[in-house]
Amino acid sequence: MQPSERHGNTWVEIRAGTVDELVQHITSLKRQTVGEESLAWRGHTDAEWSLESTLDRHLGEISPNDTYEAWLAREQRMLSEFRRRAERYAGATEGYQLKDDWTAMALGRHAGLPTRLLDWTDSPWVAVWFACHEDSDVDGMLWWFHQQQLEHAIHPHWNKWGVADRATVLGYGNMPRPEKERLGWHERALETTAFKPDGEAWVTKIHYRYPCSRMEAQRAFMTTCGRLRTSHNDAIDRLPDSNTISRGRIRIAASIKGEALQLLREMNIHAQSLSYPGVDIVAREIGNPNNK
């Protein structure tokens, strides 16, 4: 596969002009990695979009000239309102997720709430659906990166960024490492810098122990960034060890979107298989740009 162009000189782009080429590109990339879930995938219906979170787009539309503190305040207002109002619609698992900011953010993102989280999937075919299900007159795009390489590039820099591990925040810093890991306290406490005006623009993956139904159907996880209004592709590019991370894009010609969707339907990947109703009602109302 020869790159047709580059995005920011780092995300190598190749083009799929037929469905056969699309399948070949995906298959070739998967063969180059170890393990079925080594690559992360994200589909955009418009090839010109960057890896921008829904919250960043939301802020760019309604308050592009506000202070950074005002952006943070709006983020917290929307999240607090979602946690309060969604409780009446939530099932048992969703109700549990609403008790914590980060898990509520994930639930809200999959229900349509603007958040700083960016959805990814382990399945290239799910990503293809998101790239092709709308905007049939413009090219779509598949973004991808190597998950383990991203994690290895991030790990050495947490302390420099000022992001404490959760064991330290909870006062268990001297606990033996195996015990901390068993309890899940070895994870980084992202909130120690994520909601501060002077926080670093780190980027990281997020997985949840109690994913909602939609996340399971989409084999989803997320990335998040320590600074608002920062595209995730730029944040990855700026990592000190970004040259160690394999990443790129596959441009899907607009002319093959319909045929690609037909192939996915034969694989039982379609709108009904990837969605569910419920707390969406609240999330979408809160995220409406007219709701200022």
pLDDT tens-digit map of 245-288: 999 999 999 999 999 999 998 888 866 545 544 445 455 556 66
The better pLDDT of the pair 159, 93 is held by: 159
Task: Answer whether residue 101 shows pLDDT above 50.
Answer: yes
Task: Answer whether residue 11 shows pLDDT above 80.
Answer: yes
Residue 4 CA: distances (Å) to CA of 11, 15, 103, 107: 11, 7, 39, 37
How far apart CA 292 and CA 180 sit, in angstroms, is 42
How far apart CA 215 and CA 254 sit, in angstroms, is 27
Task: Answer whether residue 13 shows pLDDT above 50.
Answer: yes
**What is the separation, in whole angstroms, between the first and last Cα of the chain?**
47
Confidence (pLDDT) at 177: 72
How many helices and strands (H and E) does the chain possess? 16, 8
Mean pLDDT (the chain, rounded):
84
Torsion sign, CA atoms 192, 197, 201, 205: positive
The better pLDDT of the pair 188, 291 is held by: 188
pLDDT tens-digit map of 201-218: 999 998 765 555 555 555
Task: Answer whether residue 110 shows pLDDT above 80.
Answer: no
pLDDT tens-digit map of 234-248: 999 999 999 999 999
Confidence (pLDDT) at 175: 74
pLDDT tens-digit map of 22-67: 999 999 998 887 655 689 999 999 999 999 999 999 999 999 999 9
pLDDT tens-digit map of 218-236: 567 899 999 999 999 999 9
| pTM as predicted | 0.83
Tokens for 141, please give them: 């795009």
Tokens for 22, please give them: 């699309």
